[in-house]
Amino acid sequence: MALTLSPFAPWPGWRYLPREARDTLFLLGVIGWTVLPHMLHLPVWCTLLTVVVLLWRARLALSNQALPGRWVLVAVLIVAAALTFWSFRTLLGKEPGVTLAVVLMALKTLELRARRDAFVIFFLGFFLVLTHFLYSQTLLVATAMLVAVWGLLTALVLAHMPVGQPSLRIASRLALRTALYGAPIMALLFVLFPRIGPLWGVPRDGISATGLSNSMTMGSVAEVAADDSVALRVRFDGPVPAPESLYFRGPVLSRFDGIEWRPATPGFDFARGQAWASSANLRVSGAPLGYEMTLEPLRLATVPLLEAAAGAPAIEGYRINGRDDLQWVADRPLLERVRFHAEAYPSFSYGPTQRTLRLADQLALPSGYNPRTLEWAAALRRDPRYANADARALAQALLRHIRTGGYSYTLAAGEYGRDAIDEFWLDRKAGFCEHFAAAFVVVMRALDVPARVVTGYQGADPLPVDGYYVVRQSSAHAWAEYWQPGIGWVRADPTAAVAPERISRTRRLAPPPGLVAGTLGTLNPELLAQFRAGWEAVNNRWNQWVLNYSRGQQLDLLKTLGVQSPSWEDLTLLLIGALSALALGGAAWAWWDRHRVDPWTRQMDRLREALRSLGIDAAVPDTPRALAARLRERYGTNAQGLAALLDALERQRYSRASTPRPDAGLTRRFVGLARRLRATAAV
Amino acid sequence: MSTGTLTHDDDAAARPRWRGPIGFARARFGAWLQGRLPRTDTLLLTQGNVYILPTRAGLAFGITLVVLLLASINYQLNLGYVLTFLLAGSGAVTMYVTHATLRGLTLHLKPLVPVFAGDAAILNVVLTSPGSARFGVGLKVADADIATLSYVDVPAGGQAPAQISFVPRRRGVHALPALSTETRFPLGLFRTWAVWRPASELLVYPRPERPAAPLPQARPVPGGPTQMRSSDGGEVEGVRGYRRGDPLKLIAWKKAAKALETGGELVSRDTSASAHQELWLDWQACGTLATEDRLSRLAAWVLGADRVGSDYGLRLPGRTIEPDSGEAQRRRCLEALALWR
């Protein structure tokens, strides 16, 4: 491409650009802004291609050159499709789809020949805005995308102002006005549009999965620990329990193949009835602790309830079943943020009191793995001190060993090899919760005590935000349970033995702060903390009222509106009713508007009537000035007042300083004067 | 303000291109609707005469909204719902905004200036907005192509002039074609329009013959004053076309400038010709031409004679206009030619 504009030509100034070039540059800017957040998760080639194409198009607009031929675009598109396939091994799915949409958007700008041909750009732009929400729905993303939508609407308005060179400010104000007018309809639809489940399939790749999972390999929790995003929020009805007693029970892992821990093959889910109660054998004491939980989409069926829940919480749209290992499992993974109320009994015991067949599963150890640990356990067994020790004594001994044996807690545990437990328990003695829990369980099993790993969340941010205690992904934890005859399953947290502060002080791994936060943190840590708390509060509101708004809240709303047993059909009816009322209101207004008489015309009608009573021939096309002349001619100075009023009306209506509405006082004075004049004329 | 640079050919409008019976029915229905409209030179656009329908882009926007909604449902994106409903709300609101862009406007047609057949007739329309500013209001001849729209912005509480042009083909007094005004502001999702039949009638002069035939010879007036005037320095009697060799001081610069502007030639003072000669533009002098061609030639002669500035008269069968000169004579003659039958 030959560029006529020298790259060093001075920038003419935004205001002095030709209209076409300015509009194009503005649209390119908006597109750039819309695509920008995608740069984080797009392949590098896509980012580069988009930037190059947008800059090229800007260059063409500035130098007012012809756009490239269609075959160039087709060639680039084919290359882009090939690169997409090379990057993802498929053209279907979220990531390849977004990549292709971004490329299409960029290439379409090279086909942007006229202002009015730009609709494809706009619609593709709106679609791209939506794709951002697949990755994140935070307040920040929402704000950025609101700006993007504003920009797109402004460009659209600009395309429909064909006269002259309308300023960007006017166009953006008109776009904003349109959006503001549309906001009430948006609110109505948002509140009342029935939330229904996915129409087809379950989107597996909606939000990248972080946090707990249904399996545990060494190192998996470490990734989670670095993730500072929110997992759930809790608001307690009553007094707040100590953070070290907050154990949110997630997947229970009892099958160990030497590498990976997995949940036991689920026998079957018990309904919330007698079957579950007898099988879990939960025995609680004391008063329950009520709390409200807002759970982020963990993409996991297990609901991490506070230990121990005696009944299934009611979560709109899901069926929650209890299992005998005290897990509460939904009938499908939780893919949306849910809010519900639940109860926990802090003091409880559960599980069979007598040895059962199922307990044998909790003793299995893979053969050929971790021989030295098994040897170490056998040595302990042979120790006369523990000859008659029960499970509890053995657990105490192990915890004591962990406390005194030179173990240390670190998140930077590094890579472990095949016999990871051997390596950890006997050689390196450094690790974090999953290492401690796994090693504890392996040793207990080697000591012939049924034991298993429990994953979940432990603790919460020390200070509540807006009454909510925040539990982050970094609070993900793994602990152990062993079986004690006569009592049942007993929790043991070996991590607490080596790093008790890990349990009591729950914010452990602060993420590396950003530049601004870092500076602020050094200058004024209190301000940073305040700022952070405020931000969290806003964010929480956002989550509670916008992102968390679901069918449950919709039905609650119906209940407050007085519907006895609301269903989504009622919701649909209400929505249709509201929209119909809106449309009817519009139609009624249109009808009224049609029969409306211009206020100026109405005023003139009244004046003419008064004039006719004085014998003045006042026809429709006569101006006030002409009527005044006629009055003076007929009545002379007697009509001076009336004529002056007519002259004033002429000025009000037609002069440079005209008023927007007729002066009602003038009409009154005129009619009064006319009546007096008629009376005097009659005498 | 803006000027319609594209002109519309009313012959093409007279022969709409029907595509099949549906197109025919549509054209007939449109014609019937237009025929029902009262003719007026000042039209107030109200709820009653402004129509609105979604555009093709509006339908595409609707499809986009459905896609966005499906994506929001399937991925359970509450922000997706927000986006979809915000766009839906804004789109619905533009139905009102687009309609309000025309509603309340007053269109007023200024007095028409006669034109020659085949030349573009410019209709000067003044748009008045009593209330808010109106953007992107387009005007065109109703049957004309959409590309002929001439756009205008009307300031709040103010006026804006607009021009529409079309080309009349035949001479005579013509009713104006139906005009239409439309807008798609602000988002282009809806098109709102109104059809207007102005009451004014347009006088169309015959198309002047091009190139014009030479003017007939002027003849001395029998019985008129006969004394000769001095050929240099005296009063000016008349003018004639520039001849090679005429001294510069003999050129009537003012008239020449005017003549040049209208496509004529230089004009010299004719000190020898006399005001006692008169030029008769005679129907009979046109030889064997057909009626319309005769009128064309006479029109060209009228223009020519007017340009030279001499007195001229017009003789048509059944009508004679006595010799005179000036703008009034020119108009009188051309009108006679336009209306002759």
The sign of the CA dihedral A83, A84, A86, A91 is: negative
Residue A646 placed within a domain? yes
Average of per-residue pLDDT across A661-670: 86
A240 & A295 share domain? yes
Question: Per the domain annotation, does A100 fall within a domain?
Answer: yes
Chains A–B, number of C-beta pairs less than 8 Å apart:
162
Hey, how many other C-beta atoms are within 10 angstroms of the C-beta on A431? 29
How far apart, in Å, do the first and last CA atoms of chain B sit? 40
Tokens describing residue B306: 């007017």
Q: Yes or no: say if A179 and B87 are a contact pair by the CB < 8 Å rule.
A: no
Residue in A329, A247, A244, A236 with CA at minimum distance from that of residue A287: A236
d(CA A299, CA A285): 33
Q: Which of B104, B49, B120, B101 is nearest to A162 (CA)?
A: B101
Determine the pLDDT at residue A207.
Answer: 36
For residues B106 and B128, the answer to whether their CB atoms sit within 8 Å is: yes
Give dist(CA A582, CA A303) in Å, integer. 42
**3-state secondary structure at position B328:** helix
| pLDDT for A268 beyond 70 | no
**Same structural domain for residues A312 and A170?**
no
> Cβ A200–B187 below 8 Å, yes or no?
no
Q: ipTM value, please give it.
A: 0.77
3-state helix, strand, coil in chain A (%, to 5): 55, 10, 35
pLDDT band at A576 (very low <50, low <70, confident <90, very high): very high
Last residue of a domain, one of A320, A349, A378: A349
| First-to-final CA distance of chain A | 94
Q: SS3 for A168-234, per residue?
A: HHHHHHHHHHHHHHHHHHHHHHHHHCCCCCCCCCCCCCCCCCCCCCCCEECCHHHHHHCCCCEEEEE
- Reported as a single tens digit per residue, the pLDDT across A427-445 is 888 887 888 889 999 999 9
Q: Do B89 and A184 touch (CB under 8 A)?
A: yes
CB contact under 8 A, B86 and A549: no
In this model, does residue B300 exceed pLDDT 50?
Answer: yes
Residue B186 near chain A (CB below 8 Å): yes
Pairing mode of beta strands B115-116, B201-205: parallel
Contact A178 B70 (CB under 8 A): no
The β-bridge relationship of strands B2-3 and B159-167 is: parallel
Task: Examine residue A468 and state whether it is found in any structural domain, yes or no.
Answer: no
Chain B partners of A203 at a C-beta cutoff of 8 Å? 74-76
Average of pLDDT values for A159-180? 91
Do the Cβ atoms of A160 and B187 come within 8 Å? yes
- Within a domain: A623: yes
For A7-25, the pLDDT digits (tens) are 445 666 777 788 888 988 9
Is the CB of residue B183 less than 8 Å from the CB of residue B150? no
Q: Is residue A310 part of a domain?
A: yes
Beta bridge partners of A458: A247
Tokens matching residue A43: 């392949």
The reply to whether A307 and A225 lie within a common domain is yes
Q: Is the CB of A126 inside 8 Å of chain B's CB atoms?
A: yes
Put simply, the answer to whether B184 touches A157 (Cβ < 8 Å) is no
pLDDT at A555 over 90: no
Q: How far apart are CA B146 and CA B133, in angstroms?
A: 23
Listed residues A314, A334, A349: the one ending a domain: A349
Q: How far is CA A334 from CA A294, A307, B38, B127, in A?
A: 12, 20, 66, 60
Mean of the pLDDT values across residues A91-100?
86
The distance of A574 to chain B (nearest Cα, Å) reads 17
Tokens of B37: 């409209």
User: Which of the listed residues A284, A318, A349 is the one where a domain comes to its end?
Assistant: A349
C-alpha to C-alpha distance for A87 and A96, rounded to whole angstroms: 8
Same domain (yes/no): A181, A281: no
Shortest alpha-carbon distance between residue B181 and chain A (Å):
15
Residue A643: which domain range?
Answer: 599-682
Q: Are the CB atoms for B58 and B188 separated by under 8 Å?
A: yes
Residue A129 and residue A89 share a domain? yes
Q: How far is CA A562 from the centre of its chain?
A: 30
**What is the Cα–Cα distance from A232 to A460, expressed in whole angstroms?**
9
Closest in B48, B76, B187 to A198, CB measured: B76
Same domain, A134 and A240: no
pLDDT band at B80 (very low <50, low <70, confident <90, very high): very high
The answer, for A121 touching chain B at a CB cutoff of 8 Å, is no
> A21 and A131, same structural domain?
yes
Asked whether residue A669 is assigned to any structural domain, the reply reads yes
Per-residue pLDDT at A90 = 81
Query: For helices A19-35 and A119-135, what crossing angle results, to 10°?
Result: 20
Look at B85 and A134 and tell me if their CB atoms are within 8 Å: no
pLDDT tens digits for B214-247?
Answer: 888 777 665 544 444 444 443 445 666 776 666 6
Calpha distance A418→A637 (Å, rounded):
117
Is residue A77 located within the same domain as residue A182? yes
The residues spanned by each domain of chain B are: 2-203, 238-339
Number of domains making up chain A: 3
Predicted local confidence at residue A129, as pLDDT: 95
**Surface of B (5-64) touching A: CB under 8 A:** 44, 46-48, 57, 60-61, 64
Whole-number Å distance between alpha carbons of A132 and A38: 7
Residues of A in contact with B71 (CB under 8 A): 130
Q: What is the mean pLDDT of residues A639-656?
A: 84
Query: Which residues between 213 and 242 in chain B have a beta carbon less than 8 angstroms from any beta carbon of chain A?
Result: none
* Most B-contacting residue of A185, A298, A597, A598 (CB-CB within 10 A), to test interface: A185
Query: In whole angstroms, how large is the CA radius of gyration of chain A?
Result: 38
